[in-house]
Structures are given as structure tokens and as C-alpha cells.
Structure 1
Amino acid sequence: MSRRTRIIAPLLATAGLVVVGLSPAASAQSLAGFTGSTGSVGAFGSETAPVSTPPVAGSSGVLTIPVPAPARAAAEVGVASVYPTHNETVGVAQPVMIHFDGPVTDRARAEASVAIRTAPAVEGKFYWVGDTELRWRPHEFWPAHTSVTVWAGGREHAFRTGDAIVSTYDDNTHLVTVTRNGEVVRTMRASAGRDAYATHNGIYYNGWRDRQVRMDSSTWGLSRTAGGYDTTVENGVRLSYDGIFIHSAPWSIADQGVRNVSHGCINVSPEDAAWYFDNTGNGDPFIVVNGPGRQFGAFDGQGDWNY
């Protein structure tokens, strides 16, 4: 360990930062970055860059520490995009998503080209969704108000998590309970998937949304003559890549809180759908429990938390 490392490591640990590549004695946490590995990812080179960190108890103002800047070998293909976007605030279930310009054959090299720093320190892991998308998430939901910096493709992306807004649908009660930082803020009557379309148990999270969403069951193989649908719903928030949304369903208000009548979506009243749309964001978790359906698939695209 260099003299400089010995000097900055205790300060980093005090500030709650994770810097990978330092020994356990030198860092708040020392965590590897390879396929299926746990911990924060990447390593830092010898250059320095000032990083503003949260105030340390007993100190005044903002603590600025010279932290080694990441110097990583490039992946075999370029990085097309990183999500969350720079300066975005997301929910506590949002994974880091890195899309490459083409198929990646050397996954270890691609992972080694990425660096992530968090404050406070969290542990997590890499995993892949297909051969063009690398993801990283904590082992547990992000702490509320975590600051995250991602270096990928030669660019820096900084984002943070907001309040811990967690929604849970209990199929025993047909109610959605929404909490913010552990406090219940809303309870909504709901109706989930019926019979063969039972909504899968597991952890989802909010994705793409729109005030009006066209839903056409023929896109997943169910024609209208066979009991399908082609309709536009209001205030739809996607929970899975295979078409599960929470949305306004005025036609099933009498069933909400009583029984399941949908093709898998979470039906709520127009008022509750508007509230959910306006008061939750991308990456906020939505959990389904006690349903008759099977477990939500890990690689649906928004099933990251189910393995």
C-alpha cells in the first residue's frame, strides 16, 4: 500500500465511500468486480480527482478528499448508454444498466471496464441481460438518498436514490399498501390476474410509464375472439417487460379489493392510478405476495430482484 493510500483510506471509510481496489484495511469495503461477483465494481488508477462527500459528524461544511480517479481498460465494444441518466433521482430498486454497442464476448473485460462508487457504501453484484447489457445492483434495496457515480465508456454518470417508496400488493386482501421511508402513505383497493393469468409473486419495480397506454393482447398471443383485448388505459406504469402494468381500470372497480379479474395487470381505480403515477418514480419497488401465481422470472427485464 502506498503512503498516499494509507493517508486517504481512513478518510474514505469515515466519509462512507467505497473505493474498490484498496485492501480491506485501506477501504471502507474492498470488493471484487468480476462475473457474478459481489461488492462495488471496478478499480481506480493513480490520478486524483477531488470528490465532495457528505459532511462527517463533528466537522463543518463539505469534506473534499482527493480520490483516485478510475482508469480502466476499455471494453471490446463501446458503451451505447448508461441508466440511470446523469443527475437522475430513482427508486431504491433501480439497477445500474449499461448497454453496449454490440454483443460482448469477453464479459470479464467488460465488467473490469466499469467502476462504481457509492455513498454510503453498499455491496452488490454484476449480472447480464443478454449479450449487450450489463447490470449491477445491491444485494438489498439501495438505502434512501444514496449517491452513486458510474464510470463506463469513458464517461461519468452520477445519480442518486430518493425516498424509499415501496408498494406491496397482498393477494389475500386485494390491497396495495404504499410506504414512504417505512410509513404508510396510501392503501389502494386492487384486482390482479385471474385464474390462468394469475399475477406472479415476487419483486417488480416501476419502469416506463405514460398517461395513456394501448394494451393489445394479440402481441402476446391472445386474440380478442379468444377472450383478449385491445384497449387504451390511463396512467399506466410498467412493472414487467412481459406487459404487467399497474393502471386505471374503471370497469373493475366493483371487483377491486374483492377478487381478481384481470389478465395479470394490477387494476386500481382512476383516482388511485393517478396518485400512483404522480407519487412514485422509476425504480420504486412493487412487491406481490400471497398470490396463486408462480414466482416472477428473474430475467424478464424487470425481475432483477428475484434471484
Structure 2
Amino acid sequence: MDEKPMHFQANTQQARWLRRGLLLSAAVAVTGALVTVSAQAQPVLPGVGTGSTQPAVDQPVEQAPFAPPNINIADGETVGVAQPIIVTFKEPVEDRAAAERHIKITSSTNPAGYFYWTSSRQVRWKPAEFWPANTDVNVVAGGTTSSFHIGDAVVSYVDDDTKMITVTVNGEVVREMPTSLGKPGYETPNGTYIVGERLEKMTMDSSTYGVPVTDPEGYKLEVEYATRLSNSGIFVHAAPWSVGQQGYSNASHGCLNVSTADAKWFLENSHRGDAVIVSNTEGGTLSAGDGLGDWN
């Protein structure tokens, strides 16, 4: 049997390499029985094989242009789907773009989002829409880190037309509560609120927003089960004195009055960062600069 020419054996070996995906970009020189593959035939790809994403020893990592800042969500904390990430710096930041480059936010769901500055010492980040429920998030900012959890999607809807608060968890209605919103002259603003602090007891004082206690519209009283919705002083709280109006008419100075049982349930079943959406009032819209009005 005649022997096959050597160049045919070389081409057959080359075909095997191609079929196995090993010949990515080759310079092949055939000389008799010798097949020489250049060093470029097997390029190193980032994150593949011997590739490395770590900087070379002689390439120092750029230092963050700020001291370790404060991150508003504690390591291990569970927050609601409306919670923004707030980074507060020790000193004013001059180069905001550089600061943003040194804040790394990763999560198990990776929703699209964006930074927005509230002052030279504070930047916030939130997803374009509410966080997906049950997302794990990690934040690294100039030496400060926080790993936390986004819990179930607890979203409450407040409708001034029906005077009802409808609480949903992951899209399912779990409770409906009659309410009394802000009366004429004190209308509750529309908009998306973020649950803040929760207090089993607190003193509400009209003088804190400019209405003396001695004024006909003034007051100073202790309330139970108060869940903050705005820095301007809007709460869901127990108001046993207005139970007869809850579900029918508005009697508050802007808060959402509910029964003691409903207020207790709401406080105990809310997380910081849950969303409360108010609609159909005559009170305009909650200010985005309120501190808990990031979605407006």
C-alpha cells in the first residue's frame, strides 16, 4: 500500500484540532512531518484557564478618593424592596465620578440602577424599579462593606377614594385596613413612601412643624405603634379616637390613622425599606428631597 504524503498527515492532525476547538488563532508552518503552532494559537482569555483578573504586581490598585464612609444598611440586615443604598462620606467629595467608581454594588439578581447625589457628602443608589424580592446584596465603598438581604416584596397601597390600606406580600393581598388620612388643609401627599423607623410609643407634637400646641389645630399626645413613612412626620399609627371615621372620612393632620390592632400588625409586619404608595389625595406629591421620598 502506498504511503500517504506527509503533508496529508499534517492536515489531518490540523483538522482534529479544529474539531476539538483547540486551534483558536494559529499560524501553522508545515515542513515535511513537522507542524509548528505559534504561541498565539492558544490565547489566554480573562477568567479562563490560566487567565487572571487580578492586577499585576507592578500595577498598584487605585486608592479610593475618600475615607471609609458610612453605609446605611447594616451587615446582615433585612430591608424592603424600596430601600435605597445611602453612602455618607466623612468629608465633601469633589470628584463625584471617581467616588462612584470606588463604590461596588453587586447582588444575586443584578437589577439595573443608578447613583444620585443629595449633597457633596452623600450619594445614593437604587434600582430603576423596586428590588426583586429575596435578593442578596453586597456593597464595598472605600474600605467599608455591607452584605444584606432584600426580603419579601411588601407593598402597601393607600387609596383616599376608598379610605383603605391594602397590604400585599409578593403580590398577594394579606390585609386590608380602614384608614383616615389628612383632612382639608392637611392633606396627605400622594407618592411612594419608604418605611423608616418603627416606634411602639412616641409623642407627636404639632410645634415641631410650626403649629403651637395652644393653637386650635395644635396637639401634643402620645401614640402607639407608629411606623414612619416620611421625615416630614407622616406615620401609620394607632388612633382609637378616629376609629368611627376610618374608612369613611379624613380627620388627621396628614398621618394615616388606623385602629390599634391594625397599627400593631402593620408595625410588626413591616421592614425598613418597605413601600407604601398613596394615591387620589388632594395633597400634591411627597417631595423627593424628604429623605424617604426617593421614588418620587
Deviations 1:261-296 (A, max 9, x none): 111111110000000011111000001011111011
Q: Which segment is superposed worse, 187-196 or 106-115?
A: 106-115
2:209 matches 1:220: yes
* Partner secondary structure for residue 98 of structure 2: helix
Deviations 1:92-136 (A, max 9, x none): 000101111122232222212200001112001101222222110
Query: Partner of 1:300 in structure 2?
Result: 290
Instruction: Indicate conservation of the 8 Å contact 2:71/2:146, yes or no.
Output: yes
* Partner secondary structure for residue 79 of structure 1: coil
1:2 and 1:277, CA in 2 relative to 1: closer, same or farther beyond 3 A?
farther
1:118 and 1:228, CA in 2 relative to 1: closer, same or farther beyond 3 A?
same
5+ residue gaps, structure 2: 1-42, 56-60
Instruction: Indicate conservation of the 8 Å contact 1:201/1:295, yes or no.
Output: yes
Query: Partner of 2:102 in structure 1?
Result: 113
Counterpart code for 2:196: G
1:104 and 1:182, CA in 2 relative to 1: closer, same or farther beyond 3 A?
same
5+ residue gaps, structure 1: 9-44, 48-70
Instruction: Indicate conservation of the 8 Å contact 2:79/2:274, yes or no.
Output: yes
2:182 matches 1:140: no
Query: Partner of 2:241 in structure 1?
Result: 251
TM-score, normalised via structure 2 length: 0.79
Query: Partner of 2:58 in structure 1?
Result: none
Counterpart code for 1:3: L
* Partner secondary structure for residue 78 of structure 1: coil
Query: Partner of 1:192 in structure 2?
Result: 181
Q: Distance in 2 between matches of 1:225 and 1:194?
A: 19
Counterpart code for 1:288: V
* Partner secondary structure for residue 225 of structure 1: coil
Structure 1 residue 72 displacement after superposition:
5.5
Q: Distance in 2 between matches of 1:247 and 1:7?
A: 59
Query: Partner of 1:88 in structure 2?
Result: 77
Instruction: Indicate conservation of the 8 Å contact 1:79/1:99, yes or no.
Output: no
| Structure number, greater radius of gyration | 2
Q: Distance in 2 between matches of 1:144 and 1:255?
A: 35
Instruction: Indicate conservation of the 8 Å contact 1:129/1:301, yes or no.
Output: no
2:224 matches 1:234: yes
TM-score, normalised via structure 1 length: 0.76
Counterpart code for 1:122: P
Q: Distance in 2 between matches of 1:72 and 1:303?
A: 34
Q: Distance in 1 between matches of 2:242 and 2:269?
A: 23
Q: Distance in 2 between matches of 1:186 and 1:113?
A: 42
Q: Distance in 2 between matches of 1:103 and 1:214?
A: 35
Deviations 1:34-85 (A, max 9, x none): xxxxxxxxxxx726xxxxxxxxxxxxxxxxxxxxxxx66313x323411211
Instruction: Indicate conservation of the 8 Å contact 1:91/1:165, yes or no.
Output: yes
Q: Distance in 2 between matches of 1:295 and 1:7?
A: 55
Q: Distance in 1 between matches of 2:180 and 2:123?
A: 34
Query: Partner of 1:46 in structure 2?
Result: 54
Query: Partner of 1:22 in structure 2?
Result: none
Query: Partner of 2:4 in structure 1?
Result: none
- Matches of residues 1-307 of structure 1 in structure 2 within 5 Å? 3-5=45-47, 46=54, 73-75=63-65, 77-226=66-215, 227-306=217-296
RMSD over aligned Cα, in angstroms? 1.8
Structure 1 residue 2 displacement after superposition:
6.4
Counterpart code for 1:304: D
Q: Distance in 2 between matches of 1:99 and 1:184?
A: 36
Q: Distance in 1 between matches of 2:184 and 2:264?
A: 27
Q: Distance in 2 between matches of 1:250 and 1:298?
A: 31
Q: Distance in 2 between matches of 1:212 and 1:83?
A: 24
Deviations 1:131-155 (A, max 9, x none): 2221100010000001111001313
Which consecutive segments of 4 or more residues in structure 1 shift more than 6 A? none
Percent identity among equivalent residues? 46
